[in-house]
Every structure is written in structure tokens, then in C-alpha cells.
A and B are shown apart, each in its own frame.
Chain A
Amino acid sequence: MARQIRKKPASKTANTVVSARIAAQGHFRTLRLGTPFQPRINALARTQDWYNWAGYRAPHSLWDEELEYFAIRSQAALFDISPMTKYRIEGPDAEALLNRVTLRDVAKLKPGRVHYTAWCDDEGFVLDDGTLFRLSPTRFRLCSQERHLPWLLDSAIGFDVTVEEETEAVAGLALQGPTSFAVLRDAGFAGVEKLRIFDLADFPHDGGIVTISRTGFTGDLGYELFVSADKALSLWDRLMIAGELRGIRAIGYTALNRARLEAGLIVANADFTTAEHAIRADRLRMPDEIGLGFMIDLEKGHFNGRRAILEARAKRKLRHVLVGLEIEGNIPAEHAIVYYKKSQEVGLVSAAMWSPMAKRNIAIASLERPFGDTIAEDLWVEIYAMRELQYQKLMKRAKVVARPFIRLDRRTANPPADF
């Protein structure tokens, strides 16, 4: 083969791909990006309490994390979900690809519907959970915590489908709480009352389109809105103006995290470790081990991880179970060790709080089977409560209970109520 090595660097102008690439060099100066809503959020950020959400500057709280929680449960709370990873999956084989990749039967997901799903590697270990939006017969949006482009592209080999990452291009908002429907109606989204839980529809907005789904992460009445990034600020303003008389408040993650725990929902890399991030092989989890076994559809044909999941079920190789716990007292048991008979270590609490809605001390925990599975009695958590530089060590009884910890009729009521 002839040597084709040019030593000299070429001139910069050559082609547009290169110049676009060069134009993007400066990102190193901004390590935490703002979302399309950042100007509005910055203006409301009285606590200036930020965290890093997948490379974005996201608020833990904006003004008061406790009161922000009550905004979710009493009025309407606006939470920026733009940093969520989003993929557009489109083409004649989009349904077939997603059936191959995810656990649930995508053929049963009609256009205009959303479902909560998860996907596994070939060993049956959960790569992530997320929501799948069927925008049309051949167009889907997959939202997730982690990033999966190589996995999706590799899985798509042989399917007539395109997969595109659209996290930055699409802005997202969660509008959650009892008055959320009223806010949308008052904002002029005609027909939004027709959305039943897990329905989605497109609505005109500012010369473009906003996709509204009756979904959320709070266990409450609520909606999620997706819009192209350039229409983000006008959407925010439209909601805030319409919501003024409905008590709308912008919130940070701490409040949302409380609501999701009451709803019994899990968070990837908080309540379980995703397979592509697990350095330690024993941290990997199958769907049955994190409470997602209900998603597995064995009737629909082959999907990634199916064989391994079946084998684990048959050979009883499922070692863990994720459970809801109700713990006596009112001291949150966050990251407490769970014991059997106060002595044998059997698991760990991954999230815990005093639930204002349930008036109970609740937790999500991962236990080693058979504990939490066939042995659910005599479980205890050891709480190390730091109080003025001393640990108050408490051994409290824990009871395995069903999730969600709260059920709100307004979440699914049709038509949705005003509050």
C-alpha cells in the first residue's frame, strides 16, 4: 500500500464538518451547561443550590426544598427535565427494534401512548430504565438517565431505523400537582382534558408544537411537556402566567425526589447500579431484582437479555430483591443497613424519608433473597442519626410493604379535576 501520510496540517477552512467541529471547541469553558430554561431558573434561584445533572447545571432547590415539595402536592410544580437523555428512534422497524431492546411489548404501545420500561444487556442485567413515548406508528422517543447511543445503534444493525440523540435539541418540563391540569387548560392547550394517564398529544405552541403527555415522576396528577429548545422560554412563560392563580412554583430536585419516593419509583444509579457503570460484578441487577420483573414480556419474542433472565428464573439465580419498607418511628433511614433478627446483615436502604402524604417513615431497600422475598418478618434497620456531632444509633423494626407508598385518585381521575 502506498504511503498516504500528509505531515503538514491542512488549512482550517477545508470543509464544513471540520469547521463545525472547530466551532464547538469552546465547550471546555462551560463545564455545566445551562438548559434552554436556564435564564428563567437562574432568575428564581434564591438558594443558588446547584448540582451536576449529566453535565447540566440543575437546582437542588430554588427557594425552599420543603415548601417546594408541598407545591407538588398542593398546587402545581414546574421542574426542568431537559438534562434527561433523549433518543429519537424512527423508521419502519422502530417498533421491532424497540421490542428487541426493551422488556415490554412495544406492539401493545399504541401511537399517542407512553410506557415505563427498562432494557438489559445480553446477560440480562439492567442497563437503564426510562420512558418510551410512541409519537407515531414509526416514531418514538426514549428518555433515560444514562446514555446508550452505542447500545441502541449496535442493536439497530439489520433494522430499518434511525437512532438519534436529541438531548440538547429538545427541552422538557414536568408540570406536576393537583392544579397542573387547570394550569394547562388555562394556558390554552385545548383538548388537554382528553389526555388519560400515559396518553400523549401534540399541541400548537408559539408557531411550533409541544408534545404533552400525562406522565410524571411524582405519583400525582401531572404532565410532561417536550418542545424544541428555541420554544422553551415561551413555553415556560405561558405556563407561569397561566399558573399564577393556580399556585404554580418552580422547584428543584430535592422536592421531586421526595415525591418520587412516595410514589415508590426508583432512580437509576441511586437505587440500583446500571450495568454499564457497575465496576463490581456483584452490583449488576436483573429486572426481577429491582422490582421491574413485571415489565418482562416473554410472549413477545426475543429481546436482549431474555435467555439470561429465563435461566436466572429457572435456576433461582436471582439473588436480590428491591422492596418498599415501612420503618417504625420518624427518623429517615437513608443508607441504613438492613438486618434480619437485628444481627444478620441482609441489605441496604437506598432512599428513605418521612412521608408527609402517608404520615409514615418509608424507604426503598435492596435485600438479599430470601429476605424481603420469602422471609419478610423480623427485619430491622440500623439508623445512624448524626445529631450535634454524635451518632444516635437506633435499631428500628422494618416491615415490607407494597409500593407505591401513596395512591392519589387525582392522578388517574378522568376528566382530571381542577385541584
Chain B
Amino acid sequence: MKVWDAIIIGGGHNGLVNACYLQRAGLDVLVVEKNDWVGGAATSRELTPGFLYSNCSYVCSLFRPEIMRDLELPRFGLQVIAYEGGAVFTRDGDYLANYRDHDAHRREFARFSKRDAEAYDRYARDVTRQCRFIQPLLMRTAPDPTSLRPRDLGELLYLGKKFAGLSAQEMALTLRFWTMSISEFLDEYFETDVIKANFALSGIIGTALGPMSPGTAYVLLHHYMGEVDGSVGAWGYARGGMGAVTKALAASFKSSGGTIRTGAEVDHVLVSRGKARGVVLAGGEEVHGKLVVSNADVKRTFLKLIEEKELPDIFLRRVRNFKIRGSSGKVNIALDSLPEFPALPKDSPVYRGDMHFTDSMERMERAYDDWKAGRWSADPFLDMVIPTTLDPTMAPPGKHFMSCFVQYAPPKVNGREWTDADRDGFAESVIAQIADYSPGFRDRIVHMEVRTPREIEAEVGLTEGNIFQGELTFDQLLFNRPVPGYAQYRSPVGGLYMCGSSTHPGGGVMGAPGRNAAAEILRDLAKSTSHMSPAHDVI
């Protein structure tokens, strides 16, 4: 009977990152993936001939460059292309663009408000300061504040020192940032509604909160912490779609001797005498391993794959109460030509960036009101990109793939399960919004995939379709992610680890949870972590 050194449940990006690091440390690692392909939420799928769909996650910024380098991902085909700004279309026939050039950015804002145009520098300074504070924490295991172990004390001291290094003003800002709503935070800098709406979108993406809900300011920060090759805060497209990330990871893993089994859904984790011994696949096959690492979210892992009796009550209750609420969906569209937006000049770089139609804070909040009432938003918030304007690999020349991230979509509609008719209604709300700004849009559609929380949960495996495997509110961050006392990638079951985005530092195709979990596992096994780069310096 083969006994693997480690079995990873789920071939998403974090599972694969984890697997790569463990395999490279000399372990014999197996990844089991329920789908016939790897990638989890970072996939590129040819859903209609000639078109590659980034059908779940769709843009790249947070994936840690240290991991790309350690795992030689460029050698296995990973390329990230920075994209060119974006825009919010306004209902008066205009738009507010974000340009990469600092002065163009200021002039664009000045079209709406000279004051707000000149307020951007202070806003950027404050946000950058906060990102610099948090960034080094991404690649470190969060300390357990109740522990007296030297390592935890050391990490706490590190956190404390970093915090103490801030000025009184910055400390105040840090606490405000972690607790405020994005709406209130933006009020500190800007007066113009559309300018606030332009920034606020980063505070609500993937979150079952509205722009006026406390805690959303941090979500914005989370989206600003990434980079494209040193350009901090920039976002880009993975060439070949987001599947290029996991494709490269899988190739890296295999090249170092790792094994992947696709079409292998885990039914449950084998536990005996309080220790994980392997997994049982859906067909009943037992696969044995010395340890098991779950890339699935914390609810799926502990409420579906482990028998309740193996878990302490408080842990179980906290897992049940962990907020991992469905709030978004996706509409992925193949187009036979580039859509036109009459408001936008034909030579605008905005076509190569992210586009939005929610031009006021109130509209954004109202969209959230629908979610609270158990409906998808009648006037949804869209984050729309056309990666094929920069990536020639995803569609035939002249044809395009468009990704629409859509918010809000409730996990259940009026308390009942989503139906196909609901899904069609949801899609129509999206298409109608785009068509309002792009005449003839419907005629360009060749093929469309609509994913409500129902589809995302069923196909990708994310509970309620939550893209972060748990919301990024301050009560669920650092040493409280996912559960107090279990924030260091270990679980109440011996030999069972977590490596998904439910763990610190959270989601967004960052890879850091998978990497940090590997570091903890290797520490438990007393193995070297010399193949793992520490976080790049923030100087």
C-alpha cells in the first residue's frame, strides 16, 4: 500500500503552491482534484471553440513574486501583462478614466473636480503607507497572541515593533483603515461622487458588504497590496488567462516529481485516533498519506470532509459562523468583435483596462440592498475587462473574450436555491447594463457562460461562491483567520493542515496561504525551508 508523504485536497493555486514547496523539500506529494482539470478558481477553459475563458478569477496582481521565482513559474510559461487603467462610465454620457500616467490621471479627475484631482496624492500616500505596513505580513505566519512560544512572541514583537514604528497619525489611520467603511474613508479625501465610486469598487469586490459597511476600507487595501513586477498596486492579465498561473504551477510541480490526480473528488478525510491518515475518494478508493493538506475552504474542509465528532465544539461553531457569504457571480462572454462604447473615444486606452458602470456611491449601496433582500442586484456593479485587447492567445484575431465580475448575487434567491430561470435573469441584468452603454452589444455575443454562486460552488467548490474563501473583514484576519487558535495552518486534527484562502492572508490569487502553510508543515517535519524565499524587502 502506497503511503504518500502528503496529500493535497484540491488543485487550486494555493494547493499547487503548497504541493510545489513540499515536493521540492523532498516529500512525495499527491494532489487530488475533483475536476478533470486543475486550477480551482484560477483556470482558463476553452468553453467554445477558439476562446479561452478566465471563467472565475480574471486579473492578477496579488500573486507573490517570491513564489513565482521560487517555483520557476516563468520557465513554465507564466507571464503577467500590466494593463492600462480603466474607467467608470457616467450616466450623463461621459466617463471617468484612470490613467497610468500621473499627470493624465490628475487632468482626468480635474474634468470632474479640480480639488479632488489634487487630493489624489495625499490619498495615494496614505494608502501606500498602509500597504507598506501590511505587505511584509503576507508572507509570515500570523502569531498566536495567546501563546508563549518564543516564535509567537517573536512574531508578536515584530508586529508590535512595526506598529510602534508608525507615527501617531499613521496608527490612527491604520486603525481607521481596518474598521471604517470605504465610503467614509473616501470622504476624508474626495468630494465628487463618481470619483469616490471609482475607488470604492476595490472595497466591495468579493465581499458581502456595501460601500457603507464598516470594514470595507481594508478590502480596498487588500486590492492595492499587489504589484506587477515592482509596480505596486498595478493589476495585469496572466497571458493565456488566469489558468496560466495554475498551469505553470502544475508543470513546476510535475517537473519536480509531483503527482496530480484529476477527476478525483475527495469524499472525506480518513481520520483515526485523532490523526489524518489519508483521503477516501468519491468512488470509495482510499488513498493513504502521512499528512493531508486541504486547499478547500474552511467550511468545506471541516463541515463536509471531516466527521463532526473529530472536532472540538467551539472550533466547529466558529467554522460554522465563519463569514464566507456568496456575494458575486460571473458572466463570461465570447464576442465576435470588440464592443464599442460611444462615450469612449475609439483610441482610448480604457478598452485595455477595467470598466465599470456604477457611477455613484448610492447606486453601489442600493445594489447591496438587493443582496440583503435576497435578490441579485437589479442595477448590478460590474468589473468588466476584455483581456484579449492585450493578450493575443485567448481568442482569434479580432475576436474577444470579456469577463464580467458581477455584484451582488446572493447565495440563495429569496431564501430558496437558484434556478436556471434566476440565472438567466441575473445574466440579463448584466447584459442589459452593458448594452445601455454599448449599442449592438447583444449582437456581438457568440457564447456566454453565466455563473451564479450556485455554479461557482458546484463547479469550483467555493462555499457560496465566495471568491476569498471567507470575507476579509478585520474579525477574520491575521490570527483570527479562519478561527482563533487555528490561524497557523494547522487544525484540531493531527496531520491535517489548511492551505486555502480561508487562511492568512486571504484570497485574491496570492499564493501566500499555500506557501506559508508549506513553511509550517516543513517546520513540523523538521525539514529545511531554504528553498523558500523570504518576503521581498519593503524599503
Which residues on A are within 8 Å of B, measured CB to CB? 3, 5-12, 14, 18, 21-22, 24-29, 31-32, 52, 54-55, 123, 146-150, 153, 165, 276-279, 281
B118 contacts which chain A residues (CB < 8 A)? 147-150, 165
**Is there contact, CB below 8 Å, between B104 and A165?**
no
**Minimum C-beta distance from A307 to chain B (A):** 14
B103 partner, pick from A12, A55, A149, A153, beta carbons under 8 A? A55
Q: Could you tell me the distance between the alpha carbons of A8 and B433 in the complex, rounded to whole angstroms?
A: 8
Between A and B, 24 residue pairs with Cβ closer than 8 Å are A5-B362, A5-B366, A7-B432, A9-B89, A9-B91, A9-B93, A12-B93, A14-B92, A21-B111, A22-B94, A24-B107, A25-B94, A28-B104, A28-B108, A32-B103, A55-B106, A146-B121, A147-B106, A147-B121, A149-B114, A149-B115, A153-B115, A281-B166, A281-B167
B102 contacts which chain A residues (CB < 8 A)? 55
Of all chain B residues, the one with the shortest Cβ separation from A17 is B92
**Is there contact, CB below 8 Å, between A28 and B433?**
no
- Known A-B contacts A14-B92, A25-B94; A279 and B129 likewise in contact (beta carbons under 8 Å): yes
A147 contacts which chain B residues (CB < 8 A)? 106, 118, 121
- Known A-B contacts A9-B343, A18-B92, A150-B115; A277 and B121 likewise in contact (beta carbons under 8 Å): yes
**Minimum C-beta distance from B378 to chain A (A):** 8
Cβ of B416 under 8 Å from chain A: no
- Known A-B contacts A21-B94, A147-B118, A279-B128; A9 and B99 likewise in contact (beta carbons under 8 Å): no
**Minimum C-beta distance from A216 to chain B (A):** 26
Cβ of B379 under 8 Å from chain A: yes
Q: Give the most central of A6, A18, A147, A278: most B CB within 10 Å.
A: A147
Could you tell me which residues of chain B, from 87 to 129, have a CB within 8 Å of some CB in chain A?
Answer: 89-95, 97, 99, 101-104, 106-108, 111-112, 114-119, 121-122, 125, 128-129
Cβ of B348 under 8 Å from chain A: yes
**Is there contact, CB below 8 Å, between A5 and B363?**
yes
Q: A5-B362, A24-B111 are in contact. List 20 more A-B contacts (CB 8 A).
A: A6-B91, A7-B379, A7-B433, A9-B93, A10-B93, A12-B93, A18-B93, A21-B111, A25-B94, A25-B95, A27-B107, A28-B349, A32-B103, A55-B107, A146-B121, A147-B121, A150-B119, A153-B115, A279-B125, A279-B128
Cβ of B177 under 8 Å from chain A: no
**Is there contact, CB below 8 Å, between A54 and B103?**
yes
Cβ of B347 under 8 Å from chain A: yes
A26 contacts which chain B residues (CB < 8 A)? 345
Q: Could you tell me the distance between the alpha carbons of A29 and B121 in the complex, rounded to whole angstroms?
A: 22
A5 partner, pick from B97, B125, B379, beta carbons under 8 A? B379
Of all chain B residues, the one with the shortest Cβ separation from A123 is B169
Q: Is the interface of B mostly helix, strand, loop or mixed?
A: helix
**Is there contact, CB below 8 Å, between A29 and B347?**
yes
**Is there contact, CB below 8 Å, between B114 and A165?**
yes
Q: Is the interface of A mostly helix, strand, loop or mixed?
A: loop
Q: Could you tell me the distance between the alpha carbons of A161 and B93 in the complex, rounded to whole angstroms?
A: 34
B122 partner, pick from A28, A55, A150, beta carbons under 8 A? A150
B121 contacts which chain A residues (CB < 8 A)? 146-147, 276-277
**Is there contact, CB below 8 Å, between B128 and A9?**
no
- Known A-B contacts A22-B93, A27-B108; A9 and B166 likewise in contact (beta carbons under 8 Å): no
**Is there contact, CB below 8 Å, between B170 and A281?**
yes
Cβ of B443 under 8 Å from chain A: no
**Minimum C-beta distance from B205 to chain A (A):** 21
**Minimum C-beta distance from A67 to chain B (A):** 30
- Known A-B contacts A28-B348, A150-B118; A277 and B92 likewise in contact (beta carbons under 8 Å): no
Of all chain A residues, the one with the shortest Cβ separation from B100 is A31
Cβ of B447 under 8 Å from chain A: no
Could you tell me which residues of chain B, from 449 to 486, have a CB within 8 Å of some CB in chain A?
Answer: none
**Is there contact, CB below 8 Å, between A21 and B115?**
no
B99 partner, pick from A11, A18, A28, A32, beta carbons under 8 A? A28
**Is there contact, CB below 8 Å, between A276 and B125?**
yes
**Minimum C-beta distance from A347 to chain B (A):** 19
Of all chain B residues, the one with the shortest Cβ separation from A55 is B103
Q: Give the most central of B115, B116, B117: most A CB within 10 Å.
A: B115
A11 contacts which chain B residues (CB < 8 A)? 93
**Is there contact, CB below 8 Å, between A25 and B379?**
no
Q: Could you tell me the distance between the alpha carbons of A409 and B305 in the complex, rounded to whole angstroms?
A: 88
A281 contacts which chain B residues (CB < 8 A)? 129, 166-167, 170
Cβ of B401 under 8 Å from chain A: no
**Is there contact, CB below 8 Å, between A8 and B111?**
no
**Minimum C-beta distance from B438 to chain A (A):** 10
Q: Could you tell me the distance between the alpha carbons of A11 and B436 in the complex, rounded to whole angstroms?
A: 12
Q: Could you tell me the distance between the alpha carbons of A24 and B104 in the complex, rounded to whole angstroms?
A: 12
Fill in one digit per residue for B425-437: 1 if any A CB lies within 8 Å of its CB, else 0: 0000000110011
